[in-house]
Amino acid sequence: MTMRLDRTFLGIDYGTRRIGVAKSDLSGMIASSYTVLTVKSVEDAVKQLSQLIGDVSPDGIVFGYPLHQSGEVSKACLEIDKFILKLQESISAPIHRFDESYTSEDAHDVIHAHGKKVGQDKKRIDAIAAVIILQRFLDEQAFHSGNE
């Protein structure tokens, strides 16, 4: 089995005010914080994210998808679906939806583990949540490709 070692992914923690973005290394194995976009509207979000995706040219984009504990689609998932439809008009990279359950809580835990207080720094939470979403996706991809 040969694993491709030149694939980059972006992880997206979508929000109506801020979009946390994480980027994988070239091997598609390790996620790191990339940026947090501050947006004014859906149209602004599509414009900024499209430009960023064009600059990075990822092999795939991973959107955090906040499913209910039951696994059913939430209201937020429906909003993300609408956003993805608009985004797909201007980009060609494949889009993956990945359950983002508890990523905000996990982001808080990461911040606390480093002796920091979360406070009102929601940008930091969005950035870390995007990293967690992407890393979980990458880990699952590695697990599945190793079990083929």
Contact at 8 Å (CB) between 59 and 8? yes
Q: For 33-47, what is each residue's pLDDT tens digit? A: 999 999 999 999 999
pLDDT at 103: 57
> Which of 4-8, 16-20, 49-53 comes out lowest in average pLDDT?
4-8
Q: Residue 73 and residue 95: Cα distance in Å, rounded?
A: 17
pLDDT at 102: 59
Q: For residue 2, is pLDDT > 60?
A: no
Q: For residue 116, is pLDDT > 70?
A: no
pLDDT at 124: 81
Half-sphere exposure of 35 (CA within 13 A, CB side): 8
**Sheet of strand 95-99: strand arrangement:** 31-38, 18-24, 9-13, 60-65, 95-99
Q: For 64-103, what is each residue's pLDDT tens digit? A: 999 888 889 999 999 999 999 999 999 999 999 999 875 5
Q: 11 pairs with which residues across the strands? A: 22, 62
Contact at 8 Å (CB) between 14 and 104? no
pTM, to two decimals: 0.84
